[in-house]
Amino acid sequence: MVDTTTALSGLAYLMLPCLVLPFYILLTHVMVTNTSVRRLASNRLVTQLNVADCIQLVLHSSSGIFVLFPRIAENNIYIVRTVGALINAAWLVTFPILCLLAVTRILIIYQYASPLNTIGVMKKCTACCS
């Protein structure tokens, strides 16, 4: 038997990912199947980020089961450790994807804010400000 705080934590770990996961799956499905969305490199990076987040959500919900039922965690220590390692790996894989996404956004902003791509008054304002 688990105490109230542990039970609430386990329910939160179990229920919150289950509430968010359908939206992630729907968003990922749209981003994978829609060809106009798939063309942009930044959207492909967001799709990879969504897949990593979906993996995290599934594994976090399983960790909620481990918190609610400690006998499962005690009897299957290697499964619990594997799930923990996979949660950590799915979390760590998001950082390079986020860095690449930030770089692509900076390049897009630089491309549209470049004085070579603007017209008239904007060229003069950009030239004076830089």
Domain ranges of the chain: 4-129
Q: What is the pLDDT of residues 61-105, one digit of tens each?
A: 999 999 999 898 899 999 999 999 999 999 999 998 888 888 888
29-37 long-range CB contacts below 8 Å, 24 or more apart?
none
Given this model, what pLDDT does residue 97 score?
A: 87
Q: Which pTM value belongs to this model? A: 0.74
Q: Label residue 125 by pLDDT band (50, 70, 90).
A: low
**Tokens (6 digits) for 81:** 């450790």
CA pair distance 94, 91, nearest whole angstrom: 6
**Tokens 């329910």 sit on residue:** 11
The structure tokens listed for 127 are 């030239």
State the chain's mean pLDDT as an integer: 84
